[in-house]
Amino acid sequence: MLADLFDNIPLMIIATGALVGVAASLLGTFLVLRKNSMLSDAISHSIVFGIVIVWLLTGQQSGPVQIVGAALTGLLTVFLTELLVNTRKVKNDAAIGLVFPVLFSIGVLLINLYARDVHIDQHAVLLGEIGFVWLDTLQIGPYRVPQSLVSLGAMTLVNFTFVALFYKELKLATFDEGLARALGFAPVALFYALLGLTSATAVAAFDSVGAVLFIAFIIVPPSAAYLLTDRLWKMILYGSLISVASSILGYFLATAWDVSIGGMMATMTGGFLLLAFLFGPRYGLIAQELRRYSQRQDNEGRALAVHLYNHEHEPRELEENAVGALRNHLRWSEEKARRVLVRSLDQNLIVRDAEVLHLTSKGRAVAQEILEPWLHDLDRRRE
């Protein structure tokens, strides 16, 4: 039964993509919240250097040594960047953009010089070969399991354990670094641990999605999730779900059109981000517009209530608080006047007596809340 599962190539490919996404979202959430997204760009480029160096030294193309070695390269990138920033000659963004191209260039050159015939060729570096994950298998008990799946599964587990163990500390260090430091939670060490794990995950994902597409997996799902929720754990959850959905959709679209599977999965994460950007319940573009629209309408209703309240019990009340006055005195267009009238009648703010408008007690309260807030407060206190 299980053996069938592991022999199911599409399932293995989808599972690999999903694991990349879940492992990455666990960490990417914190990178996005800490405004360090572009560090993942730097790390995923420069691990190429680490992978080549470890390969030249040990001859290993994957496995734990590779992961540790490349994780150190990732940390080296961050360290060098901070070193440059600390000279105060280079701004943070420029420093990132100086360090990773150098490491990446050395990596690509070394590949060209020494590794022409090995599987780390320069295109695999960028694209990965998620379609071929089932070629490299590992015998575990009676099952032959794709090696990428094993290392990615391990990374997912490690990342999950890290986030679960240090959830409180990570949360505090992300949202209030000063307080975290004052309380002795060592936010800097935590940050470096986070980036070390990011590098390790990038290496584990390297064979399947390559260096650049990994950025999509680590940044885009958490960004989309950020547009959907305010709660940290929900953000991690939504990010992971988006990754899984992207892997499934991406696989089937890619096989249908015969294009890069990894590329299509990454493209799908972008699609989900676009959806969240447009239709997000609270921060989405449409929700924002709707909120703005209803606020505008509420304000129009308030303006009418204030106008009526001002002229209540005045000698000219019958003239001022008439339907026609909306157009002549408030200079509203016919259409706008009718819209506000209908809405205010619906909301029971006013009642209409032929051409004359009267405030209801609810409408009067609305006007008082604006014009005489102290009365309003008094009323409330009396209640």
Partner 1 sequence: MDALLALFQDYTVQNVALGAALLGISSGVLGSFAVLRQQSLLGDTLSHAALPGVCLGFIVAGTRQLGSILLGALLTGALAALLMLLLTRRSRLKTDAGLGVTLSVFFAVGIVLLTYIQGTNNASQGGLDSFLFGQAAAILRSDLYVMGGITLFALALVAAFWKEFKLVTFDPAFAGSLGLPVTVLEVLLTVMTALAVVIGLQMVGVVLMAAMIIAPAVAARQWSNRLEGMVILAAAIGAAGGVFGGVLSAAGRGLPTGPLIVLSISAIVLVSLLVAPGRGLLWEAAQRWRNRRHLRSQQVLTALYEFSQRHQDPAYKTEQGMVNAYYGVGTGPTLAQLQHRGLVRSMSHMPEEGVHWELTSSGRIEAERILKNLNPQES
Roughly what angle, to the nearest 10 degrees, separates helices 261-279 and 285-311?
0
In angstroms, the CA 348 to CA 281 distance is 28
In the bound complex, what is the minimum distance in angstroms from residue 361's beta carbon to partner 1? 40
In angstroms, the CA 126 to CA 130 distance is 12
In angstroms, the CA 236 to CA 231 distance is 9
In the bound complex, what is the minimum distance in angstroms from residue 70's beta carbon to partner 1? 18
Query: Residue 282: is it exposed, middle or buried by C-beta count within 10 angstroms (0-12/13-18/19+)?
Result: exposed
- What amino acid is encoded at 264 in this protein? M
Please, which contacts does 230-233 make with residues 24 or more away whose CB atoms are closer than 8 Å?
Answer: 232/29, 232/33, 232/171, 232/174, 233/167
In the bound complex, what is the minimum distance in angstroms from residue 223's beta carbon to partner 1? 5
Measured from the CB atom, is 90 or 345 closer to partner 1?
90
Measured from the CB atom, is 230 or 335 closer to partner 1?
230
In the bound complex, what is the minimum distance in angstroms from residue 227's beta carbon to partner 1? 6
Closest to 207 (Cα-Cα) out of 20, 18, 8, 7: 20
102 touches partner 1 by CB under 8 A: yes
CB 21 within 8 A of CB 154: no
Residues 196-235 close enough to bind partner 1 by CB under 8 A: 212-213, 215-216, 219-220, 223, 226-227
Exposure string for 158-183, b = 16+ CB within 10 A, e = fewer: bbeebbeebeebbbbbbeebeebeee
Stretch that binds partner 1, among 9-17, 81-89, 233-241, 371-379 (CB under 8 A): 81-89
CB 11 within 8 A of CB 202: no
In the bound complex, what is the minimum distance in angstroms from residue 247's beta carbon to partner 1? 13
In angstroms, the CA 63 to CA 86 distance is 35
Q: Which position among 8, 58, 60, 112 is part of the footprint of partner 1 (CB under 8 A)? A: 112
Q: Please report, in angstroms and rounded to a whole number, the separation of the first and last CA atoms in the chain.
A: 69
Stretch that binds partner 1, among 98-106, 167-175, 194-202, 305-313 (CB under 8 A): 98-106
Q: Which position among 256, 257, 316, 380 is part of the footprint of partner 1 (CB under 8 A)? A: 257
Measured from the CB atom, is 84 or 170 closer to partner 1?
84
Q: Which position among 242, 266, 350, 357 is part of the footprint of partner 1 (CB under 8 A)? A: 266
Stretch that binds partner 1, among 4-12, 120-128, 152-160, 369-377 (CB under 8 A): 120-128
Q: Which position among 117, 258, 335, 383 is part of the footprint of partner 1 (CB under 8 A)? A: 258
Residues 267-296 close enough to bind partner 1 by CB under 8 A: 267, 269-270, 273, 277, 280, 283, 285, 288
Gyration radius from the chain CA atoms: 30
Closest to 41 (Cα-Cα) out of 32, 33, 50: 32
97 touches partner 1 by CB under 8 A: yes
Stretch that binds partner 1, among 10-18, 74-82, 250-258, 330-338 (CB under 8 A): 250-258
Measured from the CB atom, is 106 or 193 closer to partner 1?
106
Q: Dihedrals φ, ψ of 353, to 5°?
A: -120, 95
75 touches partner 1 by CB under 8 A: no
DSSP notation for 84-99: HHHTTSS-HHHHHHHH
In angstroms, the CA 331 to CA 106 distance is 70
Measured from the CB atom, is 231 or 313 closer to partner 1?
231
In the bound complex, what is the minimum distance in angstroms from residue 241's beta carbon to partner 1? 18
50 touches partner 1 by CB under 8 A: no
53 touches partner 1 by CB under 8 A: no
Which token pair is 269?
Answer: 């994460």
Measured from the CB atom, is 170 or 337 closer to partner 1?
170
DSSP, res 114: H
Measured from the CB atom, is 122 or 347 closer to partner 1?
122
Q: Which residues bind partner 1 (CB under 8 A)?
A: 32, 35-38, 40-41, 45, 84, 87, 89-91, 93-94, 96-98, 101-102, 104-106, 108-109, 112-113, 122-123, 126-127, 212-213, 215-216, 219-220, 223, 226-227, 254, 257-260, 262-267, 269-270, 273, 277, 280, 283, 285, 288
